[in-house]
Structure 1
Amino acid sequence: MALLPKQIPLKATRIDSSILPENFSIPYRLYVQKQSKEIENIADVTQAIAGDYVSKRETSLQSLSSPIDIKTAFSIDGTKVIGPRVTGWIAGSGPQLTGEFNASQTYAAGAAYSQAEINAIITGLVQARQRVMALEAAMRSHGLIN
């Protein structure tokens, strides 16, 4: 975990009109009381996020104790790597090919196709479809598509 910056204790103190000087006008008294409430809110938020500090300068592995909520996109060095979920996908079905896959596989075909040549092409097509299914399942499990 990253080294936390120097901790500054922040303690909110309740301020009410009875402790303010009598020469304060009513609008100024209300203003001071409102500022007191704002300081209290800041103190509460500061205490809540103290455990989730991550340094932008620290290069070692860091972790957060709460989830990250990114509104539009996750970028690394200015390059978008994950954006909003793409919706409208209907889940595929069938087996997934996640093992070895030769993307450069070639298939021989003569002038008069033999049954063996057709079967080899069909097998390659099934493997490609199973690989697409595996990629879809991976994207779905990571929340990139629905």
Structure 2
Amino acid sequence: MIRSCIASLLFLFSAAALAQVEIENAWSRATPPGTKIGVGYLTIRNKGASPDRLVGASSPAAGRVETHVTVRKGEVMTMQPVKGYDIPANGSFELKPAGAHLMLVDLKQPLKAGERVPLILRFEKAGEVKTELVVTANAPASGMGHMQH
């Protein structure tokens, strides 16, 4: 009995040691009525000594959350789904307009400025990390012209 308790405690402490991922500047932009897709941007900081990978996300505000990147095809920028993002050890990865981003698909209601949207990020090593996207009325200038999805 004592051995199993000690083993459980060691597992919990080792899992906590892996969970050295912090989320900063999580935001989204407001969506017009009837829009079923939103976006999520944020910075992931990995304070751990080994790399991690964002492998998925979910939100009660959307039917599903997808990981995407923006790529140039000739003169047109397009968005493509990807299987996740690598987060370097002792480094960071930024999800931003015209780059890597989260797509909130099948929104249950429009995103309104001032709201906070719950978001759960799933990492290979850190596990689930909860955060919130702050919804803003205007996005920073980002060169998002000529976007297709």
RCO (CA 8 Å, sep 6+): is it higher in 1 or 2? 2
- TM-score norm. by structure 2 comes to 0.21
Q: What's the TM-score once normalised by structure 1's chain length?
A: 0.21
Query: Which protein has the larger Cα radius of gyration, Structure 1 or Structure 2?
Result: 1
